[in-house]
């Protein structure tokens, strides 16, 4: 019972910290129209790295990052490609290099 109580108290402290930290964000910055203004509807491209071997897929992803940067693209997001609970690679989305901030 004591261990459960300590874990519960720890969880509540972490939860309250996260809620307090997230509430300090300006709510207007989270509105969709402000986000679109920040990325200013830049051209985007999504590439797929189809390789079920994680170390090899990561190497290919790093090479792709370098190639895309040389062409003026900036990484926007990387999402794992999972099929039937098996790792199959990555989807990497890039935007043309402009001021994102």
- The answer to whether residues 87 and 80 touch, using CB atoms and an 8 Å cutoff, is yes
**Residues 5-18: tens digit of each pLDDT:** 666 666 656 655 55
| Highest mean pLDDT pick, 2-11, 19-28, 77-86 | 77-86
Cα gap 29→38, rounded to integer Å: 10
pTM over 0.85: no
> Where do the structural domains in the chain lie, given as residue ranges?
2-96
> Hey, which residues does 94 pair with through a beta bridge?
45, 75
Residue 96's pLDDT band, with cuts at 50, 70 and 90, is: confident
Radius of gyration of the chain (CA): 20
At 93 the three-state DSSP class reads strand
> Hey, which residues does 87 pair with through a beta bridge?
82
**Residues 22-37: tens digit of each pLDDT:** 444 555 555 555 555 5
């Amino acid at each position: 019972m004591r261990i459960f109580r300590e874990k519960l108290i720890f969880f509540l402290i972490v939860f309250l910290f996260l809620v307090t930290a997230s509430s300090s964000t300006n709510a207007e910055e989270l509105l969709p129209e402000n986000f679109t203004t920040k990325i200013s509807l830049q051209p985007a491209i999504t590439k797929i790295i189809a390789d079920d071997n994680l170390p090899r897929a990561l190497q290919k992803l790093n090479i792709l990052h370098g190639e895309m940067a040389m062409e003026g693209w900036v990484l926007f997001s990387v999402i794992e490609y999972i099929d039937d609970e098996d790792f199959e690679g990555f989807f990497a989305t890039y935007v043309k290099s402009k001021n994102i901030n």
